[in-house]
């Protein structure tokens, strides 16, 4: 079918697909230059060449040259640098799933693009097994540290908020508690991984403990931060709960993309546990202040 004889909506979809192909060619090319693993580099370069071939096929149909989307190239390159190549690629693949749907619809109008659909499906399978990044082996340790900090410290801060009603004192107490707990968690993770040294788990006990401790400490600092800024202890507690939800959302989104896990189920579960513990310990703080008569 000639491009000019196509329906206006089909023309727009074809031009969008053409722009997407040349954009992804540049993204894959840049990503291939970022990594040192020669095998992964070769696969990315090959996929990039295929994306360029797809673009040229579209060019033969439209008889037009399309410029790539520069902000998209910049964005995915930055994401891959900051959050890791696996996350960057799989996040881009989420967008490519929508492109595959468009290609499938266009295949009826433009039969020559059927092979593009087949190649795009193969790309997804290849990329699923493409990248091995060390930090992904320690996701479990990071989840352990972050989740324990969220549950324990959100609950602790909620209890201290009503019991003490002094933001600076709450922040100091929460910080000391959090740091002590982070070292305790790191030590426990080290001993746990050390005891599993004879299993198939290839994670280093020392690195596992570091990932656990660092995740715990960063979560602690983020949660107590409002108590250093505001004077109203109830406002601080509100911001802390918001911060906890933000951490849960961000980390679960990362995990769901990088490890292909369900986002909604894990997010709801972690939020429910953290807020449930916070509500319970807030009640304990209220009871302690009321019946024991602590007044600071």
What is the Cα–Cα distance from 163 to 149, expressed in whole angstroms?
A: 20
**What pLDDT, on a 0 to 100 scale, did the predictor assign at position 23?**
92
pLDDT digits (tens, 9 = 90+) for 166-204: 899 999 998 998 899 888 888 888 887 777 655 555 567
Higher pLDDT, 180 or 114: 180
Cα 110 from chain centre? 37
Mean predicted lDDT score pLDDT of the chain: 79
CB 213 within 8 A of CB 186: yes
What is the Cα–Cα distance from 146 to 151, expressed in whole angstroms?
A: 9
The C-alpha angle 127, 258, 94, rounded to 5 degrees, equals 65
Least confident of 23-27, 125-129, 192-196: 125-129
Answer yes or no: is pLDDT of 269 > 70: yes
Residue where the block lists tokens 């007044």 = 295
Question: What is the token pair recorded at 12?
Answer: 């727009």
Q: Map out the domains of the chain as residue ranges.
A: 3-132, 135-292
Residue 27 pLDDT class (50, 70, 90 cuts) = very high
The CATH T-level fold of domain 3-132 is Ferritin (1.20.1260)
**What pLDDT, on a 0 to 100 scale, did the predictor assign at position 285?**
67
What is the Cα–Cα distance from 246 to 79, expressed in whole angstroms?
A: 19
CB 294 within 8 A of CB 288: yes
What is the Cα–Cα distance from 116 to 97, expressed in whole angstroms?
A: 13
Comparing CA positions, the residue from 168, 147, 287, 151 lying closest to residue 228 is 168
Answer yes or no: is pLDDT of 260 > 90: no
Highest mean pLDDT among 5-9, 104-108, 136-140, 227-231: 227-231
CB 157 within 8 A of CB 170: yes
pLDDT digits (tens, 9 = 90+) for 34-91: 887 787 788 888 888 888 888 888 888 888 899 999 999 999 989 888 887 778 887 8
To the nearest whole percent, how much of the chain has pLDDT over 70? Answer: 77
């Amino acid at each position: 079918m000639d491009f000019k004889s196509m329906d206006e909506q089909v023309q727009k979809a074809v031009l969008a697909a053409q722009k997407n192909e040349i954009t992804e060619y540049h993204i894959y090319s840049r990503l291939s230059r970022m990594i040192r693993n020669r095998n992964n580099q070769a696969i990315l370069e090959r996929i990039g060449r295929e994306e360029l071939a797809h673009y040229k096929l579209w060019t033969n149909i439209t008889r037009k040259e399309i410029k790539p989307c520069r902000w998209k190239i910049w964005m995915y390159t930055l994401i891959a640098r900051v959050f890791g190549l696996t996350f960057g690629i799989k996040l881009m693949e989420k967008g490519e799933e929508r492109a595959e749907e468009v290609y499938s619809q266009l295949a009826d109008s433009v039969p020559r693009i059927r092979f593009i659909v087949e190649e795009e499906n193969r790309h997804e399978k290849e990329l699923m097994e493409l990248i091995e990044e060390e930090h992904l082996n320690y996701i479990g340790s990071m989840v352990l540290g972050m989740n324990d900090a969220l549950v324990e410290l959100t609950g602790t801060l909620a209890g201290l908020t009503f019991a003490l009603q002094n933001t600076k004192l709450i922040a100091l107490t929460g910080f000391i508690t959090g740091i002590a707990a982070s070292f305790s968690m790191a030590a426990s993770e080290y001993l746990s991984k050390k005891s599993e040294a004879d299993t198939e788990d290839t994670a280093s006990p020392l690195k596992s403990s570091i990932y656990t401790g660092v995740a715990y400490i960063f979560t602690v600092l983020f949660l107590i931060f409002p108590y250093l800024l505001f004077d109203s202890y109830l406002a601080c507690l509100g911001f802390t709960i918001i911060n906890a939800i933000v951490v849960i959302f961000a980390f679960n989104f990362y995990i769901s993309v990088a490890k292909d896990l369900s986002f909604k189920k894990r997010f709801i579960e972690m939020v429910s546990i953290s807020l449930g513990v916070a509500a319970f310990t807030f009640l304990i703080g209220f009871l302690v202040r009321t019946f024991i008569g602590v007044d600071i």
